[in-house]
Each structure stands twice: as structure tokens, then as C-alpha cells.
Amino acid sequence: MNELIIEAKIENIDKVLSFVSEHLDDCSFGIQNQIEIAVDELFSNIARYAYNPTTGGGAAVRVAVNEAVTIEFEDSGVEYNPLLKEDPDVTLSDDERGIGGLGIFMVKNMMDSVEYRREGHKNILTIKKNLGS
């Protein structure tokens, strides 16, 4: 896997997106777009919520491409499994639904696989998009 280690700050999203995009040359525009939306959402969540805003912390982003694109996000922030959050009721209006949860819902629906695990003091979230889908 190719790896980028970067400070988990919102202003680094463009660097993360560029790093991931470098490895998507053989992907269709539609797949690239879905992956970029997912990467933006997941890295943004790490940057906003994983660490204390005054101390911050780092993140690793790993990319592998074969019959699927696999992207792994790792941080040492607060333990959090976003897959345990209940999916929002998208039949409700924005006001009725409330804030939060829509981004990870979109990621789960765009990717073929989304997995979370905790190893020691690290959150590891892995997304996979099959190139044929």
C-alpha cells in the first residue's frame, strides 16, 4: 500500500485528495468521484473529531489498487466507530432529521465495503470500491 502520513487538519484535505487521486488513473470518472467524496468525508471527520483541537494529531492514509481500490485511514485519536451510528432517516426533512450522520451514510452507500477496527490506541477505517461497480 502507498502511504501518506499527514497532520489531521482540515486544511490538509486537498493534499489527501491529491495523494489518493494519484492512484486512481485506471478508474472511471464515476468511481473516482465516489472515492473522492468518501475520502473528503472521512478525512474531514478525523480532522474535526479525532483529536483535541489545541493539540491535534496525525493520520495515515493508505491506498492500494488492484481489482478494487482500498483506502485505509488510521488515527490515534478518540476511539470512535462511525459504523455503529444509526443511519439517518433520509425520508425526513433536514429539520426533522437533525444534524450529523449523513456523511458516513453516503460513504456506506457509495463504497462496496466499509470496515472499522481498533488496534491498540488506533482507529482504522477501511473503504473498498470494486473497479467493476
Short-list 129, 130, 110, 123, CA closest to 43: 123
Give residue 15's identity as a one-letter amino acid code. Answer: K
Going along the chain from its start, the domains and CATH numbers come out as: 2-130 (3.30.565.10)
Task: Yes or no: say if 71 and 31 are a contact pair by the CB < 8 Å rule.
Answer: no
Q: Please give the helix or strand (H or E) that residue 43 lies within, else none.
A: helix 29-45
Residues of the chain with pLDDT below 70 are 87-101, 133
pLDDT of residue 16: 98
The C-alpha atoms of residue 71 and residue 124 are separated, in whole angstroms, by: 10
The C-alpha atoms of residue 58 and residue 87 are separated, in whole angstroms, by: 28
pLDDT of residue 86: 76
